[in-house]
Structure 1
Amino acid sequence: MVGAVIATCVFSGLNVAAPKYLGDATDVVVAGVLRVGLDEGRLGLLLVLVASMYILASLFNWVQGVLTARSVQGLMHGLRGALEEKLHRLPSTYFQGTSRGDVLSRATNDVDNIAQALNQLLTQLIMSVLMLSGSLAMMLWISPLLAVIALATVPVSTLITVLVTRRSQANYARQWKETGELNSHVEEFVTGHEVIKAFGQQGRAAGVFARSNDRLEWAAARAQFSAGMVQPLMALVSNLNYIAVAVVGAFQVMAGAMTIGGIQAFIQFSRLFTQPVGQIGGMLSLIQSCVASAARVFALLDAGEDPGERQGDEAVPADGRIVFEDVTFAYAGAGPAVANLSFTAEPGQSVAIVGHTGAGKSTVVNLLLRFCEPDSGRITLGGVELGAIARDRLRARFGVVLQDTWLFGGTIRDNIAYGNPEAPEEAIMAAAEASHVDRFVRSLPDGYATVLENGGDPLSEGQRQLISIARAQLARRDILVLDEATSSVDSRTELLIRQAMERLLRGRTSLVIAHRLSTVRNADLILVMDHGRIVEQGTHQGLLAANGYYTRLYNAQFTSRKDRAVALEAGS
């Protein structure tokens, strides 16, 4: 950046000095005509000097352009890196209250807008100031009277710039806000295109997009219109100034107060003077657009992080004992998701958590993995409070299979090995066979080299979940968290997975969240939750014998299955 500024200063200095020598060359020609004798040597020297100055100015202009581009792109590289790191430090609750499309717009569109603005602003602003001050000094040297006439345009230009800037700032902020909302709609349509088509809502989706697109068009048009007013108005002021300088300068020449070369040089300097004034006015609209985007980017960078995100000096204990002590937590704007929750999972014990949808089961997982922090109470692992353990080190102890499967763009083999990239091929194949992934992968044309796209296409939801289970098996973590791990598989596959999981869970602490109560019969401890509280706990047989809430859940689930079986039999 220092090199770009130096190159800009040299370029501006050469551009300011050249008109003076060109005016001297004009005076040599005029003197030669009037005296019938041309000083060819001096004329040639002046012309070569002027040509050399313009050539050097072009060279330094190119140098500053290259250095500015490198500086700005380096700056944007760092800014994008800071955004990427920030996204990892943000709490899960941030993404629940912010659309993904808007976040993507801030990280891409707004950053690109800042880069484009800085490319034009950083050196051009310096160049304009130098050209403005340099040409003013030369005009005062040549003719103070004409310099005063030229300066008369400055207050007018300033007033125009201030008035236009006030209007354009709000319009640019609205434009980039509407851009983020439009991206949010596009992201929703792409993610939910199957649902949109299944319910025949293409017209409604198109209407939502059209309205958002109309708002963006109107906001962008107003921003561009208000910003576009600067250049024409500045050009008008510049042309009026040019007329005044030319007329008064002609009278000065006729009176013998100036030479023809002097008035020629002055007119060039007046152009050099008014041009930066107009450029600065135009740059202010760029600044407004840049500021609007920067405000959105820095709002993301300044977003609140988890209170314990930067904590974590304690080592991860080898003991796998998990204890929830009177834990209460509520999501923003909602009632408590869990309230006064207390339980203990001993090392090697399998703990199942069951209950109706919304009972708080998945919140237990979020708290355990520190996706969110408890409002009160404490959670310990091996006697150490989770907030004292760094998140990355804590999560390295857990093998996780979530209800919402996530597969990245890559091969099936790479997705299985995601939690253990250094695993040998034999271990990957063993995990795939144990999770019954192998039986459907072998039928694919490219087998384990099949490339997955869009979160797992072309596989079914059940097949994606099997791959997630294989990934957890291969990771071989001490503590396992299974959140509805069998929710998307058929009954036969569920049985096979349960058998594989029983082998996998042997000797490990595990938390199993399930709607299907058939998957938790063999758990060492079953916690029954309702409205964020544990209402019953015990073993499967003990809870059935108590004939309470768990029994009602069990009977409702299996009675409905029997009714379906009877209906199917009657229909056949």
Structure 2
Amino acid sequence: MKNSAKKSSSVKKVLKKIKPYSFYLILALVSAIISVSLTLYIPVLTGNAIDNIIDKGNVDFASVIQILVYIGVGIGGVALFQWIMTYFTNIVSYRTVRDLRREVFEKFNTVPLSYIDTTPHGDLISRVINDVDAVGDGLTQMFLQLFSGIVTIVGTLVFMLTINWKIALVVVVLTPLSLFVAAFIGKMTHNRFTRQQALNGDISSYVEEHIGNQRIVKAFSYEDRAFEEFEKYNDELLEVGFKAQFAGALANPSTRFVNALVYAAVGIMGALFAVAGTLSVGQLSCFLTYANQYTKPFNEVTGVLTQLQTGIAAAGRVFEVLEADNEIPDNSTKELEHCKGNVRIENVNFSYTKEKPLITNFSLDVKSGSHIAIVGPTGCGKTTFINLLMRFYDTDSGKISIDGVDIMDITRDNLRKCYGMVLQDSWLFNGTIMENLRYGNENATEEEVITAAKAAYAHSFIRRMSDGYNTVISEDGGNLSQGQKQLLCIARAMLTNPSILILDEATSSIDTLTEIRVQKAFAKMMKGKTSFVVAHRLSTIKESDVILVMKDGNIIEQGTHEELLAKGGFYNKLYNSQFAKQ
């Protein structure tokens, strides 16, 4: 019952998305009516032609030739209006798919970051590509079969009733048996098609993960084990997919068998009426054709049942994304006109899951222009602290303010413009180097871009590339070294000229000499501005105004490098563990 309701709900939601294109649906319906009407009129003409040649030596050639001309015109009209119907149904399907794909991609920008973090990326990609395509295929088949099918059923029924209502009654009574068969099989297969689409998402996620980390796979000789894991997914998809397709495929031959019985019943009854003289041979031929036409829509619908079921299952997965909770809206439209960089954190508590508190009772007061370093063991909350500053996640309790204004009262866009951020994991997109550097400042001049690149020590290697700043780099900077990608990310942050700079292991992928130069560039750029530096290499933070030592979500020590060493506490142990050999 629950699955049936979910299935019905998915169909209703898809139909709502089609509503803006109702005009095209009306045109498709009109085309279907004309096409089917001509199709149904051809058997009448054929029956008349048969009656005109039934007697030996008494063939009305003039009438037969005229009827053949009419049949030719009718066939041409059927072909034309079927093409028109297909054209308009494709417009509806493809535009609906375009709208769905746009909505899903836009939804990725409105859901909380936690949703993206906790959902496999390959599965999300599968939903926006494979599942939306499956919905489009299902829509196309549904409209084509629905319009022509309904008109065909109504039209043939009317024609059969005018010829012989008794035989027509037999057809009407027996044909619904095929509907019951199709409905039973459809209900039985829905869960399998839903599972099949979910497994497609799992495989997409697994493949995306391994292609993106192929160096790691090869470095650890994990190829065979990776293939074995893939085979598990692939074999399960084979099993589930086979069962779903097999069960779906049962519908068509089952309904064809029922409809063949109907056709046989019509033939036998029609022959009896013809022998009795109440039905001509031409009318019998016409009736048999109509009986076949009447059952044809049922056969066609069950023939595409697999695509329809796949489309419905895919629609459910698409709407799961569209109906996910959005990020909590901004409390107000307040914006900071000029961010000075004073940051105050008061009694902040935060956890990703309620069962595991991460940051507890965290307080900090940072004056504008301060250089703050954050150190501590893995998992102590350093990056989480950055996520809270940027409002990628919201605090469970407590308050974070910038220049005396609670960040919950500032729009996210305005808040994030205060920051320039460079992460340990560099991210670049497929485009020119110039486009990548302008990502955070589209209006930057070429001179400003070059100045930022020079400050980040990226200008020299950019200039040596084939097209300089117009060199196209592949997705995620695949044709650059890790250090070069990191330098470009640093230059990109510098180009935004932020009031607050956040560096989360920003120099971890570049050599020591370049790191020293970049640190000097950062120092020059951040003069008079606030900066937060998350670092594991403690040698890079000696000059910080304040070093915060975090452990288990709390600040356990703070002070300058010399002060913390003199205390002989946790920081002293961390520092000496890195330089024990020296």
Q: Which segments of 5 or more consecutive residues in structure 1 lack a partner in the other structure?
A: 563-572
Aligned to 1:57: 78
For 2:207, which of 154, 163, 186 is the aligned residue?
A: 186
Offset at 1:334? Answer: 5.7
Amino acid at match of 2:115: Y
Measure the CA separation in 2 of the matches of 1:92 and 1:354.
Answer: 24
Matched, 1:20 2:40: no
Superposed counterparts of 1:313-332, under 5 Å: 313-319=333-339, 320-332=341-353
Offset at 1:106? Answer: 0.7
Measure the CA separation in 2 of the matches of 1:343 and 1:181.
Answer: 43
Aligned to 2:20: none
Decide whether aligned partners of structure 1 residues 61 and 333 sit closer, same or farther in structure 2, where only a CA change above 3 A counts.
Answer: farther
- Superposed CA deviations along residues 118-147 of structure 1, whole A, max 9, x for unmatched, are 111123212111211211121122112211
Measure the CA separation in 2 of the matches of 1:531 and 1:228.
Answer: 57
Decide whether aligned partners of structure 1 residues 37 and 362 sit closer, same or farther in structure 2, where only a CA change above 3 A counts.
Answer: closer
Superposed counterparts of 1:69-218, under 5 Å: 69-218=90-239
Amino acid at match of 1:38: D
Aligned to 1:565: none
Is the partner of 2:335 in helix, strand or coil? coil
- Superposed CA deviations along residues 89-114 of structure 1, whole A, max 9, x for unmatched, are 12222222211111111111111111
TM-score of the pair, normalised by structure 2 = 0.91
- Superposed CA deviations along residues 346-378 of structure 1, whole A, max 9, x for unmatched, are 222222212111111111111111111111112
Aligned to 2:550: 529
Task: Decide whether the 8 Å contact of 1:306 with 1:372 is kept in 2.
Answer: no
Measure the CA separation in 2 of the matches of 1:118 and 1:431.
Answer: 51
Decide whether aligned partners of structure 1 residues 34 and 258 sit closer, same or farther in structure 2, where only a CA change above 3 A counts.
Answer: farther
Offset at 1:306? Answer: 2.2
Measure the CA separation in 2 of the matches of 1:163 and 1:224.
Answer: 15
- Superposed CA deviations along residues 502-541 of structure 1, whole A, max 9, x for unmatched, are 0011121221111222222222222221110111222333
Offset at 1:63? Answer: 0.6
Is the partner of 2:477 in helix, strand or coil? coil
Measure the CA separation in 2 of the matches of 1:148 and 1:286.
Answer: 32
For 2:486, which of 444, 465, 479 is the aligned residue?
A: 465
Task: Decide whether the 8 Å contact of 2:422 with 2:506 is kept in 1.
Answer: yes
For 2:448, which of 394, 414, 427 is the aligned residue?
A: 427
Superposed counterparts of 1:396-435, under 5 Å: 396-435=417-456
Measure the CA separation in 1 of the matches of 2:88 and 2:406.
Answer: 51
Superposed counterparts of 1:372-387, under 5 Å: 372-387=393-408
Measure the CA separation in 1 of the matches of 2:436 and 2:298.
Answer: 58
Task: Decide whether the 8 Å contact of 2:175 with 2:262 is kept in 1.
Answer: no
Decide whether aligned partners of structure 1 residues 408 and 36 sit closer, same or farther in structure 2, where only a CA change above 3 A counts.
Answer: closer
Offset at 1:80? Answer: 0.7
Aligned to 2:60: 38
Amino acid at match of 1:16: L
Is the partner of 1:559 in helix, strand or coil? coil
Decide whether aligned partners of structure 1 residues 285 and 457 sit closer, same or farther in structure 2, where only a CA change above 3 A counts.
Answer: closer
Is the partner of 1:89 in helix, strand or coil? coil
Aligned to 1:11: 35
Aligned to 1:289: 310
Task: Decide whether the 8 Å contact of 1:312 with 1:391 is kept in 2.
Answer: no
Amino acid at match of 1:132: I
Measure the CA separation in 2 of the matches of 1:230 and 1:311.
Answer: 54
Task: Decide whether the 8 Å contact of 1:93 with 1:332 is kept in 2.
Answer: no
Measure the CA separation in 2 of the matches of 1:489 and 1:559.
Answer: 23
Offset at 1:311? Answer: 4.5
Task: Decide whether the 8 Å contact of 2:138 with 2:312 is kept in 1.
Answer: no
Offset at 1:414? Answer: 2.7
Aligned to 2:17: none
Amino acid at match of 2:157: L
Task: Decide whether the 8 Å contact of 1:401 with 1:481 is kept in 2.
Answer: yes
Measure the CA separation in 1 of the matches of 2:216 and 2:376.
Answer: 28
Offset at 1:445? Answer: 4.3
Aligned to 2:531: 510
Is the partner of 2:549 in helix, strand or coil? strand
Is the partner of 1:170 in helix, strand or coil? helix
Amino acid at match of 2:166: L
Decide whether aligned partners of structure 1 residues 8 and 316 sit closer, same or farther in structure 2, where only a CA change above 3 A counts.
Answer: farther
- Superposed CA deviations along residues 191-242 of structure 1, whole A, max 9, x for unmatched, are 1211111111111111111121111111111111111111112222222222
Is the partner of 1:351 in helix, strand or coil? strand
Measure the CA separation in 2 of the matches of 1:44 and 1:439.
Answer: 85
Offset at 1:299? Answer: 0.6
Aligned to 1:240: 261
Amino acid at match of 1:26: I
Amino acid at match of 1:86: K
For 1:481, which of 502, 512, 522 is the aligned residue?
A: 502
For 2:460, which of 425, 439, 452 is the aligned residue?
A: 439
Is the partner of 1:455 in helix, strand or coil? helix
Is the partner of 1:523 in helix, strand or coil? coil
Stretches of 4+ aligned residues off by more than 6 angstroms: none
Measure the CA separation in 2 of the matches of 1:276 and 1:117.
Answer: 16
Aligned to 2:13: none
Is the partner of 2:544 in helix, strand or coil? coil
Amino acid at match of 2:387: N
Offset at 1:252? Answer: 0.9
% identical aligned pairs: 36
Aligned to 1:256: 277
TM-score of the pair, normalised by structure 1 = 0.92
Between stretches 504-513 and 381-390, larger displacement belongs to: 381-390
Amino acid at match of 2:251: V
Amino acid at match of 2:102: G
Amino acid at match of 1:529: M
Offset at 1:56? Answer: 1.6
Offset at 1:283? Answer: 4.3
Superposed counterparts of 1:286-365, under 5 Å: 286-308=307-329, 311-319=331-339, 320-332=341-353, 335-365=356-386
Between stretches 276-285 and 252-261, larger displacement belongs to: 276-285
Task: Decide whether the 8 Å contact of 1:5 with 1:123 is kept in 2.
Answer: no
Is the partner of 2:580 in helix, strand or coil? helix
Offset at 1:489? Answer: 2.1
Task: Decide whether the 8 Å contact of 2:175 with 2:259 is kept in 1.
Answer: no
Measure the CA separation in 2 of the matches of 1:316 and 1:47.
Answer: 81
Offset at 1:161? Answer: 0.9
- Superposed CA deviations along residues 321-351 of structure 1, whole A, max 9, x for unmatched, are 2222211111137622211111122222222
Task: Decide whether the 8 Å contact of 2:141 with 2:308 is kept in 1.
Answer: no
User: How many residue pairs end up in the alignment?
Assistant: 557
Task: Decide whether the 8 Å contact of 1:132 with 1:277 is kept in 2.
Answer: no
Decide whether aligned partners of structure 1 residues 6 and 388 sit closer, same or farther in structure 2, where only a CA change above 3 A counts.
Answer: farther
Offset at 1:65? Answer: 0.8
Q: Which segments of 5 or more consecutive residues in structure 2 lack a partner in the other structure?
A: 1-23
Is the partner of 1:135 in helix, strand or coil? helix
Measure the CA separation in 2 of the matches of 1:456 and 1:336.
Answer: 37
Amino acid at match of 1:480: L
Is the partner of 2:453 in helix, strand or coil? helix
Matched, 1:266 2:266: no
